């Protein structure tokens, strides 16, 4: 899975989020890293032990659940609540793989990390460096998106954030446990759903082909869903 989802938030909405983040406290990102990741992590994270941080986290999660493209590709079951990070003054996050299992800091619920996501919140022209490098298995991709755009990718992929040498890179990051654990099955379902939506526009909801493919989609989803 390697999917860019544009305009999760408008640029104006991103500005409002950034203004709210300016009012809060940022802490050393190493506090939330695993024992190995601490050695290669140099950034700041928004302190999520306050009501404002949790409200912003819920705002991001709620918006994502309203975006058909995200829902189709992620098939979300559980979120590890969205957090916020900041890179500046050469800050970076070296090559690493995300933990397979996380614990929701608010509920303590266990979350299997199937998908990772980074939602960019400020303009790429406002900072130098800070590209997200992801090894897709078919080569390394460098990602630096417009404010409000998001990259969704497999949590098992080796990735890193290159040093920010000028300005600030501010983003929200999160993990998703999908209803469908198998990545290939999830990709096929997303492709099938995309084609169904195109056929609905062309043929209408009551066309036999639309109904049959919709039936197939839901039966495959039922078959592949992990309880």
* Binding site, annotated residues for Fe cation: 96, 98, 159
Specify the length of the chain in residues. Answer: 227
Residues at the binding site are 96, 98, 159, 169
Q: Which of 29, 6, 7, 12 is nearest to 169 (CA)?
A: 29
Distance CA 158, CA 160 (A): 7
Element (H, E) at 166: strand 164-167
Distance CA 63, CA 185 (A): 25
Distance CA 227, CA 224 (A): 9
Backbone angles phi, psi at 168, to 5 degrees: -130, 140
Alpha helices (H) in the chain, listed in sequence order: 11-22, 51-64, 68-74, 183-203, 208-224
Residues at the binding site for 2-oxoglutarate are 169
Structure-block tokens of residue 96: 């690493």
């Amino acid at each position: 899975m390697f999917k860019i989802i544009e305009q999760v938030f408008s640029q104006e909405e991103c500005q409002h989020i950034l203004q709210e983040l300016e009012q809060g406290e940022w802490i050393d990102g190493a506090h939330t890293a695993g024992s190995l990741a601490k050695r290669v992590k140099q950034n700041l994270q928004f302190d999520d032990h306050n009501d404002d941080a949790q409200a912003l986290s819920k705002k991001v999660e709620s918006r994502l659940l309203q975006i058909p493209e995200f829902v189709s590709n992620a098939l979300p079951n559980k979120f590890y609540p969205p957090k916020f990070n900041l890179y500046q003054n050469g800050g970076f996050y070296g090559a690493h793989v995300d933990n397979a299992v996380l614990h929701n800091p608010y509920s303590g619920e266990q979350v299997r990390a199937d998908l990772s996501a980074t939602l960019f919140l400020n303009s790429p022209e406002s900072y130098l460096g800070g590209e997200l490098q992801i090894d897709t298995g078919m080569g390394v991709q460098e990602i630096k998106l417009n404010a409000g755009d998001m990259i969704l990718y497999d949590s098992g992929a080796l990735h890193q954030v290159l040093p920010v040498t000028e300005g600030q890179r501010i983003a929200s990051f999160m993990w998703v446990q999908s209803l469908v654990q198998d990545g290939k099955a999830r990709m096929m379902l997303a492709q099938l759903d995309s084609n169904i939506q195109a056929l609905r526009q062309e043929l209408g909801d009551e066309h036999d082909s639309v109904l049959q493919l919709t039936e197939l989609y839901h039966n495959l989803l039922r078959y592949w869903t992990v309880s």
